[in-house]
Each structure stands twice: as structure tokens, then as C-alpha cells.
Amino acid sequence: MIPYAAPLADIGFLLKRVLGLDAILAGAGHGHSAADVDAVLAEAGRFAAEVLAPLNRVGDLNPARLDNGVVRTPPGFADAYRRFVEMGWNGVAADPEHGGQGLPMVVATALTELWNSANLSFSLCPLLTQPAVELLQRHGTPAQQATYLKRLIDGSWTGTMQLTEPQAGSDVGALKTRAVRENGHYRITGQKIFITFGDHDYTDNIIHMVLARLPDGPPGVKGISLFLVPKFRVRADGALGERNDLRVVGLEHKLGIHGSPTAVMAFGDDGGAYGELIGEPHHGIEYMFTMMNAARLSVGTQGVAIAERAYQQARDYALTRVQGRALGDRRPGAPAIIRHPDVRRMLMLARVKIEAARALVLETAGALDRARQAPAAARDAAIARAELMIPVAKAWSTDIGVEVASLGIQVHGGVGFIEETGAAQHYRDARITPIYEGTNGIQAADLVGRKLGRDGGAAMRALIADIAATVTALAAEPGDDIAVMAGALGAGRAALAAATDWAVGRHDDPRDVAAVATPYLELVGTVAGGWLMARAQLAALAALATGDDPGFHEAKLITARCYAEQVLSRADGLARTVMAGGRALLALDEAAF
């Protein structure tokens, strides 16, 4: 497996020249500068490359295991976590009032990419602690914040989210875990599955966020409450007390992410686990969405991360593997395979999709920052944009992660199918990302059902208007590369507008719209990705006018044009697929399958 190099130039370009980092930092009000962010990213890149990346293969070959009721992580993982928290990486985006550094979400999202590119299995633990912090900052009582927040932020303790049950799957409303009030707290009984880092050897306490139903809770999701359930109870002085009534009864044997323990959890074998209610009864799903939205954006970032790692491996192999004769290449000797047109096609597709997906997740994180910082008049629009884009960022980016990891194997040819090269691990690790934190089909259903339905498509049309403004800006600039993007983005905008009008107009037939929700989400991601590539193209053009790093910025003009010709050009076909509706997809009788 080749070494990992953090893509700091592209991340810095996006943050500073495309996404308005200076304004976001000023709005955060914690005194951070763009130079501070550069230093943070540089140090994070070193940590990711030197500490986390070398353990990636170790975790794949030495899976987490359950040893006499104790979960053991792969060799080196616990020490890497200790170094991770000692350097303060766990609390970069948390509120300084509780010991965090107060960096914007857009910077934290960039860091999330670095950690997950280097070692996705390791990074799942801090990835889930961050939503637990967000949850308690927004919905925890002062006492809960005082007891748990500081140690979650500094990484002394970690957090989990616990929704899924064997009989319920994604139908959270069917859960059976129960909570009964007792002396000011609650007793929790039940079982949860697919709990990432449900137990481990990193820290001495784990804070579980558990969905359960009170005895008087109505059926379905409206009757679910949310509870904080620690592995060890915490005494009044902050010291750990007795072990809570919960345990790991098994670890899943998985296709990938072997270094990450995925636990089956049992609560209440000895009368019930101690739990504290978060917020009001029967509002658990509402509160859990705070965690889920944060986690979904992070998972979308994982898609970018694993794609970047797979691309780097394929690129380096293509630059050094000598084979065959390249068409039109008169240089003596056998060529590196990067000279073969089809290999170049695969690498360019991987690169431009990574650039677009990275821009999309960072833009979505920036929208969350703006939602927190905006004055009241602009806050609703910022929130609507962030909520609109989160399912797209999660689903579109993770689909790209799987696609690029598959292309990475293809670039390697037969040796890519051999585990020793490392290319296969990226594909296996990537494959979970379209599934967890809500499958990509669920994200698509949320986009067309909830996000379009609640405002009649107003938030989407606001995005389409922003895309139109970028098309106008492109039209005012010279150059063939700009002209190609202007034409493709204009056509993509029209395709998205037509498909959106169709979907909003068909909300009286939800099955028809739901059947084509996935191609609609792909259309949104494709066009929004093109919009951000166009903005990057405009930023690169402005940088070239000042003579700044011509090699880097000229490459941006080329990759944007490649995206326009090879990816964005498919928008019209996707729109036609959407507007065909679900009639043929739903026509066959079940028995005919």
C-alpha cells in the first residue's frame, strides 16, 4: 500500500478561494485566521500520513476482536488514539466554553477527510464522538453538559449513537428497547445492533446515546425518547462509579473496516441499564437527527476520503507500471501505463469526481457554519440550504467513493484483485459508506419526499438560481475551457429545474416520485458538483490573472472542463430518467421477480 499524502493544496484552494473561509472565520468570532487554518491542516496532514496511514493495513489484517467480554482493537490503534487526543484533534470544532477550539465546521470537515483517508477504521471512533458532542451542546441539560461534555470533547471518553435493532433495521419506529423511570433516572432494557465502536480499549468510559420507548410512548417514531447511557456511571465528583448494566454480546464479521469494532449490544441483563433522559419525552428522533445530520455529512466526507486514497494508489501505480505500447507515443521503450488513453480516462474521471465531491461536502459544511452565524433574516435560508444538501453530500459522495475505489482496482488490473497491493481494501472499506447512517436510497427518499415536499421545492429552486448566477458569471469570461463549462452547466441547470418541477408536481403520487428518487439525487449531485467546479474554475482564472501558481490553477481549468464534458453532460439523461417516473419500475407483479 503506497504512502498517503494529504491533498492540502486542493483543500486550501477550496477553503480560501471558493468557499469564503475568511468570512466564515470572522463569523465564528474566535479569533482564528486563515494562516491558523493552514498550520492546522499542515500538522493534521503529517499526523494522518505518519501515524494513522501506516496502521490502515494493520487494522485490515488484525480485526478488532471480543476477548472474554473485552473488545481489543488492532495493534497500535489505542496508542494512536492517545496521541490523537493529546494533540487536541478531537475537539477542534467544539465550543470553547466546554474546552473545544471553536474552529468552523468547514475546517473540521476538511480534517475529517484527512483522518478517514489515512485510516477509515480508526477514524470511525472520533467521527461518532463529534455528533454526541453536538447533541449535548444543543439538547443536554446543564448538569449533563457539566458531567460529560468536557471529557467527550477532549477525547477522555467517546460517544456512540444507538438506533438499530434486529427486528427494525432502518424502520426505527419499530424499535423495542424500553425505558422505565426509576428514582429520577431510567432503566433501559433491550438490544441494539451495528453499533460502531460500541466498546473498545481506547478510553475508560463510553457514552452511549440510545433510542428507547417509554411505557406511555405512542407507537411509531413519535413515541421514541433519547437516553444517555454511560458504560460506567459517573459519581458527583466526576470519578467513575459502578459498571452499568450493558455489554457487548458479539462483534460483526464484515466485508471491510475490519479495524473498527461493530458491536451487538445488550442492555439490562441484570435489571436495566442506568440512563438519563435527553430533552423531553417522545422527542428522541428529533434530537437524534442532530447526531444523524452531523454523522451523514461526515460519512459523505468518508466517501471523498476513501476515493482520494484509492486514487493516490492507482495514480502512483500507473506512473510506475511499465506495460505495452501507447497509441501515438513515439518515445523509446515500453511506457508507463498512465500513457494509455483508457488508463488516463479512469484516472481523470476519478480525479474530477473527487474534486467535485470534496467541494460539495465542504460547501455543505460551510452552509452549516453560515446557518449558525447568519443574522435572523438570513438564517432560515442557510439552514434550508444545509438541510437540502446533507442527503446529497452523504449519498452522492459515497457512491463516488465506491466508484473510484473500483476504478482504482481496474487501473491496477489483475494485481488490483490481489489483497497484497492494498487496492482491494479501499474497495471493501468504501462499500459500507452508502449503507450506514441511512442507506443512500433513504437519503434520496428524504430529498424528494421531505426536502422538496415541505417547501414545494423552494430551497432547491434557490440553489438553481445560484447555479444560474454562476452560468452568467462564466459567460462574461474568455477561454474555451470556461465556455465549455458555461454550456454544460447551463444545460445541467435547465435539466435540474425541469426534473424538480416534475417531482414537485407529482407529489400527489408519492410512489411514482420515490421510484426515481435515486436518479434525482444523482442529478442534483452531478449539477451541484458542476456548479462548484465552475466556481473553482472562476477562482482559478482570478488567481492566474495575478500570476499565482500557474501550474496548479491551469490544472483547475482543465479538470473543470473534463467534469463538464464527461460527467455534467449526463445531466439531461438523468433528468429524462426522473421524468419518466416509476411506472415501468413498479409495473411487474411481485411474483414475476
Q: Which long-range contacts (CB under 8 A, 24 or more apart) does 515-519 make?
A: 515/581, 515/582, 515/585, 515/586, 516/577, 516/578, 516/580, 516/581, 516/582, 516/585, 517/441, 517/444, 517/445, 517/447, 517/448, 517/449, 518/440, 518/441, 518/444, 519/574, 519/577, 519/578
Helices 105-118 and 341-373: crossing angle in degrees, nearest 10, is 140
498: Cβ–Cβ under 8 A, 6 or more apart, which residues?
Answer: 575, 579
SS3 content of the chain, % helix, strand, coil (to 5): 65, 10, 25
Find, among 162, 213, 158, the residue nearest to 187 by Cα: 213
Q: Are 504 and 461 in contact (CB under 8 A)?
A: no
Which is catalytic among the residues 165, 308, 437, 522?
A: 437
The DSSP result for 551-588, as a single string, is HHHHHHHHHHHHHHHHTGGGHHHHHHHHHT-SHHHHHS
**Residues facing 179 on adjacent strands:** 188
Measured between alpha carbons, how far is 261 from 253 in angstroms, rounded to an integer? Answer: 9
Residue 350's H or E segment, with its range, is helix 341-373
Helix residue ranges, H only, 145-241: 150-153
Find, among 295, 288, 292, 303, the residue nearest to 525 by Cα: 303
Measured between alpha carbons, how far is 462 from 363 in angstroms, rounded to an integer? Answer: 15
C-alpha torsion sign, points 291, 293, 298, 302 = positive
The DSSP result for 84-134, as a single string, is HHHTTGGGTTS-GGGT-----HHHHHHHHHHHHHH-HHHHHHHHHHHHHHH
If phi > 0 it is left, if psi is from -120 to 50 it is alpha, else beta; for residue 144 that is alpha
Helices 284-320 and 105-118: crossing angle in degrees, nearest 10, is 50
In whole angstroms, how far apart are CA 320 and each of 38, 165, 360, 363, 422? 31, 48, 32, 35, 16
Catalytic site includes residue 437: yes
Report how far Cα 157 is from the mean position of its chain's Cα atoms.
22
Helix (H, G, I), strand (E, B) or coil at 399: helix
415: Cβ–Cβ under 8 A, 6 or more apart, which residues?
Answer: 421, 423
Q: Phi and psi of 281, rounded to 5°?
A: -60, 150
Helix (H, G, I), strand (E, B) or coil at 266: strand
Measured between alpha carbons, how far is 350 from 406 in angstroms, rounded to an integer? Answer: 10
- Residue 313 CB-half CA count within 13 A: 31
Lookup: cell for 564: 463538464
Lookup: cell for 403: 466508484
The set of catalytic residues is 437
